[in-house]
């Protein structure tokens, strides 16, 4: 799998370059990317850690120091159809220091606040405030971090 048309910051670590698909993206310095990750048309900040099998499509921006757990899937179209004629990217933003647990799905157009934590297996359908823990099948705020 290729890394094409992508700007890699200093010290980016991709131990298995042959096992990722990264294109049309910007990856910040000191970010770590595991095997079987796909990143296309996204902006990844500095010091992020992206675990195996994550999918990060066009329109997704991760701020600095974000953790993405294994098998996390971002979407980027509210009403996806097979026809490209109606496809429209809805941007998603993950704030600084946020963490997203394994097997989470993040719907398009979502903002996840700074230092927020999304629990494993969550389906995030609405914005996540900064400094909260959110989890569940339709993720809900469960408590404040502070």
Residue with tokens 């974000």: 66
Residues for the chain: how many in total?
146
Q: Count CB neighbours of 81 within 10 A.
A: 9
Interatomic CA distance for residues 37 and 99, integer angstroms: 17
Residue with tokens 């389906």: 123
Task: Tell me, yes or no, if 16 is annotated catalytic.
Answer: no
Catalytic: which of 16, 53, 71, 115?
53
List residues with catalytic annotation.
53
């Amino acid at each position: 799998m290729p890394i094409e048309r992508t700007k890699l910051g200093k010290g980016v670590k991709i131990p298995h370059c042959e096992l990722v698909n990264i294109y049309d993206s910007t990856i910040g310095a000191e970010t770590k990317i595991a095997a079987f990750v796909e990143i296309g048309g996204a902006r990844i900040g500095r010091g992020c850690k992206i675990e195996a099998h994550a999918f990060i499509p066009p329109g997704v921006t991760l701020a600095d120091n974000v953790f993405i757990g294994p098998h996390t899937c971002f979407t980027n179209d509210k009403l996806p159809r097979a026809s490209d004629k109606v496809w429209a990217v809805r941007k998603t933003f993950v704030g600084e220091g946020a963490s997203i647990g394994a097997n989470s799905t993040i719907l398009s157009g979502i903002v996840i606040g700074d230092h927020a934590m999304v629990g494993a297996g969550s389906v995030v359908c609405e914005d996540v405030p900064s400094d909260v823990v959110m989890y569940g099948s339709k993720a809900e705020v469960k408590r404040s971090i502070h």
